[in-house]
Amino acid sequence: MTQFFSRFKRLATILIVLLTVFSTVCLLPNQPAWANQDTSSPWAIQSSSWARWAPAPYTRWDVYNDLNNRVQLVADPTTKSAVYFLKSDGSVGYRNVDQNINKTFPGITAKQIAVGKNGRLWAITTDGRWARWAPAPYTRWDIYNDLDNRVQLVGDPQSEGGIYFRKSDDSVGFRNVDQNINKTFPGIVAKDLTISDPA
C-alpha cells in the first residue's frame, strides 16, 4: 500500500510539472509585456554611460560608453532608435544609434531641452531666453526673449508650435508660438511636468 501511494505521488508530481511546462510554453505569451515591439524605448544616463532598452525580442539594455558629457536625454518621438541630448557645456545634439546619424544644433547654450511633435526641439538657454529649432528648410534657432520665469519645458505631442511649461512660481502654462495661443492651468503648485500623448 505504501509503495502504491509513493508511485502515485511521483506520477502526480510529474503530471503537475508537465502541465506547468505546457501552459508556460503554449498558453502564455512568448514575450513579457515589457519586450513588446509596440512599446516605447526607455533611455537612461548612468554615471559613466548611457543606455537604451533594446528593441524586442531582446530584454536587456544596450549600453553606450560614449557618454561624452551628456546630462539630459529626450527621446525622439518619431523613432525608437534616436535621442536628443544636452551636454554639460550647453550644446545640443541628436544621435540615432541604429542608423549611426549624428546632428548638432549650434547657436545657443542650453540648460534644458524638450522635444515635441515630429521631433521639434525646444530649449531654455543659459542667458535667460527660450528657443525652438526652426522648421525646415531653416537650420537655426528661433529665439524668444519672453522667458518669463519658465524653468521647465515639455514639448507638445500634438503640434510643432506648442510647448507646455512650468514657471519658477510652479504655475503651469502652454504657448503655441505659431498660432499665438496662450493657456494657463491654475489650481496647483507643480514641482514637475510631463505631457501624455493620446496617439
pLDDT digits (tens, 9 = 90+) for 62-81: 999 999 999 999 999 999 99
Looking at residue 6, its pLDDT comes to 57
How far CA 22 is from CA of 25, 80, 155, in Å, comes to 5, 34, 47
Closest C-alpha among 32, 117, 104 to residue 68: 104
H/E stretch holding 184: strand 181-184
Looking at residue 40, its pLDDT comes to 72
Looking at residue 64, its pLDDT comes to 95
Confidence of residue 2 (pLDDT cuts 50, 70, 90): low
Specify the long-range contacts of residues 14-19, CB closer than 8 Å, at least 24 apart: none
Looking at residue 126, its pLDDT comes to 96
Looking at residue 41, its pLDDT comes to 85
3-state SS, residue 22:
helix
Q: Which amino acid is at 44?
A: A
Closest C-alpha among 156, 133, 129 to residue 144: 129
* pTM (predicted TM-score): 0.78
CA distance 51 to 103: 18
β-strand partners of 128: none
pLDDT at 195 over 50: yes
Look over the chain and give the mean of its residue pLDDT values, rounded to a whole number: 85
| C-alpha cell at position 107 | 547657436
Confidence of residue 99 (pLDDT cuts 50, 70, 90): very high
Looking at residue 17, its pLDDT comes to 41
Average pLDDT in the 148-174 region? 96
| C-alpha cell at position 137 | 528648410
pLDDT digits (tens, 9 = 90+) for 35-61: 444 457 899 999 999 999 998 899 999
pLDDT at 12 over 50: no
Closest C-alpha among 48, 60, 120, 55 to residue 84: 120
pLDDT at 22 over 90: no
